[in-house]
């Protein structure tokens, strides 16, 4: 849960390295893709266009693992 929250904050802040790190950590700690998509949807809703860019990076990093 903490990694998912950290990921949402990283997306909102626009920190690419943080996004990749927390997406990786969330997966390592057992998050599944459906849970990730829910977090990404909220992050996009709260941060608009820039959030969409960083959410896509988070999804790519998650899927690459």
> What structural domains and CATH numbers belong to the chain?
2-64 (1.20.1290.10)
- Rounded to two decimals, the pTM is 0.91
Q: Alpha helices of the chain — where are they, by DSSP H?
A: 2-13, 16-28, 33-64
pLDDT tens-digit readout, 9-57: 999 999 999 999 999 999 999 999 999 999 999 999 999 999 999 999 9
CB 62 within 8 A of CB 26: yes
58 contacts 19 by C-beta, under 8 angstroms:
yes
Instruction: Tell me the Cα Rg of the chain.
Output: 10
């Amino acid at each position: 849960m903490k990694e998912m929250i950290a990921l949402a904050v990283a997306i909102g802040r626009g920190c690419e390295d943080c996004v990749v790190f927390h997406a990786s950590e969330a997966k390592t700690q057992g998050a599944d893709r459906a849970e990730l998509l829910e977090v990404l949807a909220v992050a996009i809703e709260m941060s608009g266009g820039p959030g969409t860019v960083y959410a896509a990076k988070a999804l790519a990093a998650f899927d690459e693992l």
